[in-house]
Structure 1
């Protein structure tokens, strides 16, 4: 049995940020991190972004520095039991760890298709990146399943590296769930101009692997083969451990403003945490880098004795060939939207409104304006289309 003052379950960006947060307050308390992956903490966004943009970004740049933090890492271990009363967890090798404060930074598991995994690469980890790079060495044709955040980035990354790419997804357009229809239509055509075959409104009927080739047949009879299939279907929060321990869960693990779960000595942060947004006046769960870093560090500080409140509203960003954006708040194509284009579909700002109030802002090729967008959302004022035209520009 191993005892640590601080125990962190998970080994991603959130967990790493938590260690840094603890050490800002407590330089000596024993910390341990238990992680299913075989790698120490690393930055995840470059796996679908900068690592594909020439040789300017080497793979070594993703590893996060743990120098001087003095903590134990137990890699390749999965925690299978949590006993909040005994303050103990058990891993899949039978090891028992006890703690004073615990952080659940368990992240999420990729959504999978109802087919055998053979030949389908569910893109999320550095090992997935390495596997895709390996496939790219001898393969030229790829199918990307999913038209959302990861799917659109991976398709752009592969096409930018001279691969033949087919995108396949059930929605009407790339990013149909968040972009205005006209922008989504533009993106479909933009990807086609970049050489990507875009097959929208397509449901998969079967997937078969024959030798080195993978064949997909859709419900409408389309058939296509490729050297590799990459699925970017989003994630589901890893809440099994929290449920087993009797913690409150609902679309993630419920936390209060200090990131405590329903048990005062157990915290949760990152992709898995369901927190209350003061800015948007609702509970939400955010699966992006800014949230992982800021929330993780705050959880660490609070575990070490601080009483900071999480009122941060995380932003997120994406790169799509030579287009890109930063965004904050709620982006939902079902909301009312006001489009303010300096150059149609190339540069502008899209405002998302609920009951006339701005609740989200998409800064399309418009940079350095996240704080201005946050201030606008914080006003909680009623806005007309005319009031928003020209409100934000870089």
Structure 2
């Protein structure tokens, strides 16, 4: 049986960060990173962003093995975790013993059908990008299902390609649940001007095989359907916590961890999309964004390495921000974006909507989220405001928020 000082289950951004975190603390530890995808750890955001632009990056490989000296095994799923013997079993039957372990298993994309339907794709991996990119470059009709972060970003990316694109959203307008009407107008104009068809107030019910030689058919809740060459489902993920649950770890829509990202087992930590942790500003949360994957992965790796060397683990204190690109516009945010809250818009001088900050305030006078629209290097200040004004009654007059974050 092989043995490693540190085993990281999963081979994404959080796994790469965990290996780097271990190496920061212990230059001599042995590390194994093992994950089911065929590609080594890579940067995931470009799948819906930079890879669709005219000047895409040459590579999104994170270079985990070279940077950390870790053994990286791809195309291998961990099928069992035995915390008593401190071993993992992979799908080829091999067993590996660990001294410390990080679960960075991420999540599984939600689908429309219980069984695979040809031409119906999810969008989570580099392999998914390659399949969709081939269709786009061939000028095929691609239907995107979902008005959340992934669905909108993917529709924007596809709009820059040769594909014919249809976006299906349940809202009355795309992103109307997140941003003020002015920014919804801006997004819609960007999509429609590039030929994207937008179907609103429609919920995808299922997908079926099309006629012989044709692509799949999307069935909507109003009994209509959309024919296509491919359907890409962007409806978010469910945390991949089955391995932890089977091992007897505490699970609640993700793996429950403490302030040092330690699970209910003293030798196992969790990081990234799968970890439900106590954030010092946001409360107990599970965050599905890359900044969180980087930060929790690094913290988990450092904590495991410290404890293995007999030192105390440091608490994880980073509150994550998240971001998106919509054509030539970009934004960052901290906290909760919800257009049903009171939105306080603070726009920079110049054309209205080019740059500004949108504060999201709850009815009980608490600041819940801050969106930085084409305003950069201010996520830390937004986090400070959330910490300062996050309790009910902290914002008796929402208009006083204007000016709290510089607009230039």
2:330 to 324, 329, 332: 324
CA distance in structure 1 between the aligned counterparts of 2:60 and 2:108, rounded to whole angstroms: 24
CA distance in structure 1 between the aligned counterparts of 2:254 and 2:278, rounded to whole angstroms: 12
Q: Which residue of 2 aligns with 1:27?
A: 27
Q: Which residue of 2 aligns with 1:304?
A: 305
CA distance in structure 1 between the aligned counterparts of 2:87 and 2:245, rounded to whole angstroms: 15
CA distance in structure 2 between the aligned counterparts of 1:162 and 1:345, rounded to whole angstroms: 29
1:111 to 2:104 alignment:
no
CA distance in structure 2 between the aligned counterparts of 1:125 and 1:56, rounded to whole angstroms: 17
After TM superposition, the score normalised by the length of structure 1 is 0.94
* Alpha-carbon distance, 1:155 to partner: 0.5
Q: Which residue of 1 aligns with 2:404?
A: 391
Q: Which residue of 2 aligns with 1:164?
A: 164
Aligned positions of 1:1-394 closer than 5 A: 1-58=1-58, 60-114=59-113, 116-180=116-180, 183-184=183-184, 186-205=186-205, 206-210=207-211, 211-280=213-282, 282-305=283-306, 307-342=313-348, 343-354=351-362, 355-380=364-389, 381-392=394-405, 393-394=407-408
* Alpha-carbon distance, 1:149 to partner: 0.5
What stretches of structure 1 of length at least 5 have no aligned partner? none
CA distance in structure 2 between the aligned counterparts of 1:338 and 1:15, rounded to whole angstroms: 38
* Alpha-carbon distance, 1:261 to partner: 0.5
> SS at the partner of 2:209?
strand
8 Å CA contact 1:208, 1:216 repeated in 2: no
Pick which of 153-162 and 331-340 moved more.
331-340
* Alpha-carbon distance, 1:223 to partner: 3.4
Residue-pair matches, total? 392
Q: 1:144 to 1:244 in 2, by over 3 A?
A: same
Q: 1:366 to 1:347 in 2, by over 3 A?
A: same
CA distance in structure 2 between the aligned counterparts of 1:110 and 1:221, rounded to whole angstroms: 25
What stretches of structure 2 of length at least 5 have no aligned partner? 307-311
CA distance in structure 1 between the aligned counterparts of 2:396 and 2:294, rounded to whole angstroms: 32
Pick which of 49-58 and 38-47 moved more.
49-58
* Alpha-carbon distance, 1:176 to partner: 3.6
Q: 1:114 to 1:140 in 2, by over 3 A?
A: closer
8 Å CA contact 2:250, 2:263 repeated in 1: yes
CA distance in structure 2 between the aligned counterparts of 1:337 and 1:137, rounded to whole angstroms: 40
CA distance in structure 1 between the aligned counterparts of 2:200 and 2:194, rounded to whole angstroms: 16
* Alpha-carbon distance, 1:62 to partner: 3.7
* Alpha-carbon distance, 1:321 to partner: 1.1
Pick which of 20-29 and 202-211 moved more.
202-211
> SS at the partner of 1:99?
strand
CA distance in structure 2 between the aligned counterparts of 1:129 and 1:316, rounded to whole angstroms: 21
* Alpha-carbon distance, 1:212 to partner: 4.1
User: Which protein has the bigger strand share?
Assistant: 1
CA distance in structure 2 between the aligned counterparts of 1:198 and 1:187, rounded to whole angstroms: 11
| Residues 334-390 of structure 1: CA deviation (Å, up to 9, x unaligned) | 333222233444322111123212221011122221122112112124252321123
* Alpha-carbon distance, 1:74 to partner: 2.3
* Alpha-carbon distance, 1:41 to partner: 0.6
* Alpha-carbon distance, 1:190 to partner: 4.1
> SS at the partner of 1:243?
helix
CA distance in structure 2 between the aligned counterparts of 1:106 and 1:55, rounded to whole angstroms: 31
Q: 1:56 to 1:122 in 2, by over 3 A?
A: closer
| Residues 291-329 of structure 1: CA deviation (Å, up to 9, x unaligned) | 111111111111111522111110111011112211111
CA distance in structure 2 between the aligned counterparts of 1:166 and 1:150, rounded to whole angstroms: 14
After TM superposition, the score normalised by the length of structure 2 is 0.91
* Alpha-carbon distance, 1:184 to partner: 3.5
